[in-house]
Amino acid sequence: MIAQTPEPPYYAVIFTSLRTLDTEGYTEMAELMVELASQQTGFLGFESARDHVGITVSYWSDLASIQAWKTHAKHQIAQKLGQEKWYSDYKVRIARVEKSY
């Protein structure tokens, strides 16, 4: 789905990743993280697609909410497993959405 976000300004976290061949536990964790993220203060929406590369964009009202989610205990476990098991490479970009149409 295309996320229904408010008028800018707000923030986007663009997470781009390449997967390893290790899929064990990945889908369950990804679904859990979407569910958990959507309960956090400041969460505005979420878009995700994968073919050769995976792109997940989450939208947030402010930088403090992004920081709080980054340091959330369960999310930190997921990040650690992602780095060790599921992703061969990834990049996170934090961006301020200035315009949308």
What residue ranges bind a copy of itself (CB under 8 A)?
A: 1-3, 5, 8, 11-12, 14, 16-18, 47-55, 57, 89-101
Minimum distance from CB of 84 to a copy of itself (Å)?
17
- ∠ at Cα 12 (57, 64), nearest 5°? 125
Check if the beta carbon of residue 12 is closer than 8 Å to that of residue 95.
Answer: yes
1 or 21, CB closer to a copy of itself?
1
29 or 94, CB closer to a copy of itself?
94
Minimum distance from CB of 60 to a copy of itself (Å)?
12
Calpha distance 76→71 (Å, rounded): 6
Minimum distance from CB of 13 to a copy of itself (Å)?
10
Q: Which residues contact 6 (CB under 8 A, 6 or more apart)?
A: 44
Amino acid identity of residue 39, one-letter, is: Q
Which residue is associated with the tokens 């958990």?
36
Minimum distance from CB of 89 to a copy of itself (Å)?
6
53 or 64, CB closer to a copy of itself?
53
